[in-house]
Chains A and B, each alone.
Chain A
Amino acid sequence: MLPDLTRITADLIRDLDEKINELALGEPHFSNVLRKYPFKKENFRPVLQERAIEGHTTSKLAFIDGGNGEILGAPNFSIQFNRICYCLFKGKERIQKSKDTIDRIEFLSCTYSSFRNKEIYYDTITYPLSSTFQNLLPSESDLSFDSSDRSIMDGRERADIRRVASIARRFAEWSFAAYVAQKELEKSDAIVMDGTLHAAFTHESAYAKKLYEATTEAGITVTGVAKTSRLFTDTGLSLIGAVQKFAEDCKLAFGSWYLPIAEVADMDHQAMIFVTKLNQQAKHVFRYEIQRDQHNALTLKEIDNIFFMLAENSRDITFAGYPFGCAVADSYGRVSEHDLEYYRALVMGEAGKQGNWPKFSRHIQSVDAHEILNSLVGL
């Protein structure tokens, strides 16, 4: 007999509806925070219009984003192509970069496993595609990880090599942000990183710290927009969803707002966390972080101004409420299959020339089987 799919899905949806109980939104759930802000209507701040912000300055936002992709990989090595880009905006206007600023850094990286001191290690070597940004790449000693390092592990599993292989790019984003700040930004400008300010990997916070120091000195603010967020409330709802619901329930008088959620002060995460809706028409709200010390040194007006600038940049009609600069930086930084094909051909050609392709390919086969399966089922 055929399964009664109508009944089964009906049950499923009914159960889910029951379990997701929006009546109790709860509070932001953090294991380790300095301060939590409960959901209160008074905590919503409107994103003010320019004229409403006293002493308003039109400042620049620099958006940083990067991408990486595997050129060749096996369980014991991963060759990657990495790219990091930025773009500059003042409100909705894009600002041309200065002539001598590098607009992107690109490098190949090779992550491989080795065995020493009775442990498996992951090491990464980087190969800049131009010597001009050699010194923006992370140092190789920072890219050496013990495979039992908690920060790279996936729960209790040994980390997948591809996850480790993307760390070099993450580190380079911090360095590149510092470079951009130094070259292009002035006092009261801000940097918008892609993602949170959580420097999760071992050695990462050193790179974040360098950025914080350089920017603090210059009066520049470091921030981050997270497209997705894994935060929850203590009743088990997604934090973003809960805030959205709460905002609707509050029937706010303003269409765009920001709401403080928590102040985090960990070794590797120093941030004031907000959820913000950047345009009345927005379908999404985002998690937005400002570097903690910098945030605390700002006046309310200055914070208002940052949200104002961000909202100004989020008025593109195709994605209302999402910073356009984030979309631009993302499209610049994104590594396409086309890019990968190009480097793959070069790398494989060279391996053939040097006569060690058979050796590499033995290891690749173990991953390849998956791809063959995929192609058989038409994926």
Chain B
Amino acid sequence: MQDLEIVGQVIAGDIANILVREKSGKKLELGDLLVAEEGDSRLLILKVYGLVYGSQVPQLAREMASGLKLEGLGAGLDYFEPHLRNYVIAEVKAIAQVINNKARIPKSLPTFFSAIRHIKKEDLAFLTKPDNPIFFGNVRSGSKVLDVPVFLNGSDVFTHHVLIPATTGRGKSNLVKVLLWNALGSGGKFGILVLDPHDEYYGRHGKGLKDHPSAKQDLVYFSTTPVKAANTLVINLQSIKPWYFDGIVRFTDAQNDAIDQYYNAFNDTWIENVIRDTPLPNGVTIAPRTLGVLRRKFDSVLGIYLDDADQLQCRSKIFSDNSGETTMQDIINSLEAGKIVVIDTSRLLDQAELLIGSIIVGDIFSRYQKYKSDGRLNDKPVISIVIEEAPRVLGTNVLESSGDNIYNTIAREGRKFKVGLTAITQLTSVIPKTVLTNINTKIILGNEMSVERRAVMDSASQDLSDEDRTIASLDKGEAIISSSFVKFAIPIQIPLIDEIIAEDNEPQNSPKRRVVG
């Protein structure tokens, strides 16, 4: 190692807290990745968790010296050899041991007094591009970005669920855009459903997924107010099965009973018949009050009502009794063809959005279950469902009061059927542990709430107990990937989607780093 490169030296500590004296002027940062070379093709990768002052000068003497300076009595006096006597000690921990280009969980300390340097691209050569690669960002050391792209196997990652926790404004949406952008270039390996309550992914008003070179073939956009080349989001009421409401809209036993009666009697037209107050055959009667409440619920959730001319109307124009018969088919088929389906739910009420998700997810899930029993699942692309504010369907209180829903079911057993969730949330603490541990990849962005950091760290695939301060200090776009598919929690810098779009659309610059090789 050249002297120039050395930033510190191991001086003490234990396996959980190695102390490194900083070489003067090297300004180590929280989160910096450092390397202790351990001989030929062996090295330890260390990460900075804390920084403290060290001094050879006793505290009292330092206080006195500062007093002299502050009170104007220190003229002509100075610290002799200040860089030798006053310094910074970095608290670091080994996060990976690399032997012959293979990363392992470290089980030993670096050699006592090892010289320490910053990490280099070559040290991370073991981070190779897997099959079905999805680009997440570049390796980041503190706030320095390395020229080392991080790809994970999208099939593994998406089927085993992804959690993106962060407070507002830390870059969750941007990250999803980056992931989707790269999935778009994958040639049909990933069918991703995006429920987009902010209509921010397609790029209706600016740049967005629509600007991807493969958008024409692989991106499908549904909106209640479609733009050019987009589909109108109209869902025929007949696509809605009673169980799609599970866990999303709460019905009383009497209401459920009435729903069952109508579904048995009228099948797919059950909703229409409830609204029209069609009498049930065989003389079965339902209390008019129950039906009245049901109608009001359909009105509030679906926006459906009967107008003066006895025509069914939908306030949001999303549900219809006479159009949209193929919408569900189109969506499901697109997903199955490995396309990305963005559904603009910005004009929908919460429950309507979740219900639509529930309809689509329920349908695709039962299809995939069938493929599995037919032995055809292997040929099908992986499905992921991107859902904002995930606690709406995965929150402890929701699950307790409304019971299981399709999202929860997928979290539990989706992986067997190649269907996974990509859950975005500001609050992790309100999601049950059992669900969190099923989510194998967490892309942790900045979070200033310690309760939330704790919940994320406690359910991570790596021991992140020392990352608390680091996570608190993550800037926009800075993240840590903790996943059962990586050897250690990898700090990354997620690029800004605008830059990727600009780069991939430069004619001479064919999409380089992110396109499947």
| A337 is an interface residue with CB less than 8 A from chain B | no
Known contacts A316-B77, A317-B79; 10 additional CB pairs below 8 A are A92-B80, A279-B77, A281-B74, A281-B77, A315-B77, A317-B77, A318-B57, A318-B64, A318-B79, A324-B80
Contacting residues, chain B, for A317 (C-beta < 8 A): 65, 68-69, 74, 77-79
**Given A94, A315, A319, which contacts B78 in the complex, CB threshold below 8 Å?**
A315
Residues 316 to 353 of chain A near chain B (Cβ within 8 Å): 316-320, 324
Contacting residues, chain B, for A318 (C-beta < 8 A): 57, 61-62, 64-65, 79
Contacting residues, chain A, for B81 (C-beta < 8 A): 94
| Least distance between B353 CB and chain A CB atoms (Å) | 66
Residues 83 to 142 of chain A near chain B (Cβ within 8 Å): 92, 94
Enumerate 29 A-B pairs (CB-CB under 8 Å) in ascending A order.
A92-B78, A94-B81, A279-B76, A279-B77, A281-B68, A281-B73, A281-B74, A281-B77, A315-B76, A315-B77, A315-B78, A315-B80, A316-B77, A316-B78, A316-B79, A316-B80, A317-B65, A317-B68, A317-B74, A317-B77, A317-B78, A317-B79, A318-B57, A318-B61, A318-B62, A318-B64, A318-B65, A320-B68, A324-B80
Q: How many Å lie between the Cα of A319 and that of B76 in the bound state?
A: 13
A/B pair count, beta carbons within 8 Å: 34
| Least distance between A255 CB and chain B CB atoms (Å) | 10
Contacting residues, chain A, for B77 (C-beta < 8 A): 279, 281, 315-317, 320
Residues 75 to 90 of chain B near chain A (Cβ within 8 Å): 76-81
Contacting residues, chain A, for B61 (C-beta < 8 A): 318-319
Of all chain A residues, the one with the shortest Cβ separation from B69 is A317
Q: How many Å lie between the Cα of A145 and that of B458 in the bound state?
A: 72
Of all chain B residues, the one with the shortest Cβ separation from A256 is B76
User: Of A94, A317, A319, A320, which is in contact with the most chain B CB atoms at under 10 Å from its CB?
Assistant: A317
Majority SS at the chain A contact face: loop
Q: How many Å lie between the Cα of A354 and that of B57 in the bound state?
A: 45
Closest 6 CB pairs of A and B: A317-B65, A317-B77, A316-B80, A318-B61, A324-B80, A318-B57
Number of interface residues of B (CB under 8 A): 15
Q: How many Å lie between the Cα of A279 and that of B57 in the bound state?
A: 19
Q: How many Å lie between the Cα of A316 and that of B68 in the bound state?
A: 12
Q: How many Å lie between the Cα of A94 and that of B69 in the bound state?
A: 23
Contacting residues, chain A, for B74 (C-beta < 8 A): 281, 317
Q: How many Å lie between the Cα of A299 and that of B64 in the bound state?
A: 38
Contact with B along A305-318 (1 / 0, CB 8 A): 00000000001111
- The chain B residues found within 8 Å of chain A, CB to CB, are 57, 61-62, 64-65, 68-69, 73-74, 76-81
| Least distance between B346 CB and chain A CB atoms (Å) | 64
| Least distance between B464 CB and chain A CB atoms (Å) | 37
Residues 258 to 300 of chain A near chain B (Cβ within 8 Å): 279, 281
- The chain A residues found within 8 Å of chain B, CB to CB, are 92, 94, 279, 281, 315-320, 324
Q: How many Å lie between the Cα of A217 and that of B80 in the bound state?
A: 32
Contacting residues, chain A, for B76 (C-beta < 8 A): 279, 315
Q: How many Å lie between the Cα of A317 and that of B57 in the bound state?
A: 11
Q: How many Å lie between the Cα of A318 and that of B62 in the bound state?
A: 7
| Least distance between B477 CB and chain A CB atoms (Å) | 43
Q: How many Å lie between the Cα of A324 and that of B79 in the bound state?
A: 10
Contacting residues, chain B, for A279 (C-beta < 8 A): 76-77
Contacting residues, chain A, for B65 (C-beta < 8 A): 317-318
Q: How many Å lie between the Cα of A279 and that of B75 in the bound state?
A: 11
Of all chain A residues, the one with the shortest Cβ separation from B73 is A281
Of all chain B residues, the one with the shortest Cβ separation from A313 is B80
Q: How many Å lie between the Cα of A92 and that of B84 in the bound state?
A: 13
Contacting residues, chain B, for A324 (C-beta < 8 A): 80
Contacting residues, chain A, for B69 (C-beta < 8 A): 317
| Least distance between A338 CB and chain B CB atoms (Å) | 14
Q: How many Å lie between the Cα of A281 and that of B64 in the bound state?
A: 12
Q: How many Å lie between the Cα of A319 and that of B79 in the bound state?
A: 10
Contacting residues, chain B, for A94 (C-beta < 8 A): 81
Q: How many Å lie between the Cα of A279 and that of B69 in the bound state?
A: 15
Contacting residues, chain B, for A319 (C-beta < 8 A): 61
Of all chain B residues, the one with the shortest Cβ separation from A319 is B61
Q: How many Å lie between the Cα of A317 and that of B74 in the bound state?
A: 7
Contacting residues, chain A, for B78 (C-beta < 8 A): 92, 315-317
User: Of B64, B74, B76, which is in contact with the most chain A CB atoms at under 10 Å from its CB?
Assistant: B76
Contacting residues, chain B, for A281 (C-beta < 8 A): 68, 73-74, 77
Q: How many Å lie between the Cα of A281 and that of B76 in the bound state?
A: 10
Of all chain A residues, the one with the shortest Cβ separation from B61 is A318
Q: How many Å lie between the Cα of A196 and that of B163 in the bound state?
A: 74
| Least distance between B7 CB and chain A CB atoms (Å) | 22
Of all chain A residues, the one with the shortest Cβ separation from B65 is A317
| Least distance between A55 CB and chain B CB atoms (Å) | 23
Contacting residues, chain B, for A320 (C-beta < 8 A): 68, 77
Q: How many Å lie between the Cα of A318 and that of B56 in the bound state?
A: 11
Of all chain B residues, the one with the shortest Cβ separation from A325 is B80
Q: How many Å lie between the Cα of A279 and that of B76 in the bound state?
A: 9
| Least distance between A203 CB and chain B CB atoms (Å) | 37
Q: How many Å lie between the Cα of A318 and that of B64 in the bound state?
A: 7
User: Of B65, B80, B81, which is in contact with the most chain A CB atoms at under 10 Å from its CB?
Assistant: B80
User: Of A92, A279, A316, A318, which is in contact with the most chain B CB atoms at under 10 Å from its CB?
Assistant: A318
Contacting residues, chain A, for B79 (C-beta < 8 A): 316-318
| Least distance between B65 CB and chain A CB atoms (Å) | 4
Of all chain A residues, the one with the shortest Cβ separation from B66 is A317
Of all chain B residues, the one with the shortest Cβ separation from A311 is B76
Of all chain B residues, the one with the shortest Cβ separation from A255 is B76
| Least distance between B54 CB and chain A CB atoms (Å) | 15
Of all chain A residues, the one with the shortest Cβ separation from B67 is A317
| Least distance between A329 CB and chain B CB atoms (Å) | 13
| Least distance between A277 CB and chain B CB atoms (Å) | 14
| Least distance between A153 CB and chain B CB atoms (Å) | 38
Q: How many Å lie between the Cα of A222 and that of B80 in the bound state?
A: 24
| Least distance between B451 CB and chain A CB atoms (Å) | 44
Q: How many Å lie between the Cα of A316 and that of B61 in the bound state?
A: 11
Of all chain B residues, the one with the shortest Cβ separation from A279 is B77
| Least distance between B69 CB and chain A CB atoms (Å) | 7
User: Of B62, B64, B69, which is in contact with the most chain A CB atoms at under 10 Å from its CB?
Assistant: B64
| Least distance between B465 CB and chain A CB atoms (Å) | 33
User: Of A92, A94, A316, which is in contact with the most chain B CB atoms at under 10 Å from its CB?
Assistant: A316
Q: How many Å lie between the Cα of A168 and that of B92 in the bound state?
A: 45
Q: How many Å lie between the Cα of A316 and that of B57 in the bound state?
A: 11
Of all chain B residues, the one with the shortest Cβ separation from A312 is B76
| Least distance between A327 CB and chain B CB atoms (Å) | 9
| Least distance between A63 CB and chain B CB atoms (Å) | 13
| Least distance between A314 CB and chain B CB atoms (Å) | 9
Of all chain A residues, the one with the shortest Cβ separation from B78 is A317
| Least distance between A321 CB and chain B CB atoms (Å) | 9
Q: How many Å lie between the Cα of A315 and that of B65 in the bound state?
A: 11
| Least distance between B80 CB and chain A CB atoms (Å) | 4
Q: How many Å lie between the Cα of A92 and that of B80 in the bound state?
A: 6
Q: How many Å lie between the Cα of A94 and that of B73 in the bound state?
A: 25
Of all chain B residues, the one with the shortest Cβ separation from A89 is B80
Contacting residues, chain B, for A315 (C-beta < 8 A): 76-78, 80
| Least distance between B81 CB and chain A CB atoms (Å) | 6
Contacting residues, chain A, for B57 (C-beta < 8 A): 318
| Least distance between A49 CB and chain B CB atoms (Å) | 10
| Least distance between A187 CB and chain B CB atoms (Å) | 26
| Least distance between B409 CB and chain A CB atoms (Å) | 64
Q: How many Å lie between the Cα of A315 and that of B80 in the bound state?
A: 8
Q: How many Å lie between the Cα of A217 and that of B73 in the bound state?
A: 42
Q: How many Å lie between the Cα of A227 and that of B80 in the bound state?
A: 20
Q: How many Å lie between the Cα of A317 and that of B76 in the bound state?
A: 9
Q: How many Å lie between the Cα of A316 and that of B78 in the bound state?
A: 5
Contacting residues, chain A, for B68 (C-beta < 8 A): 281, 317, 320
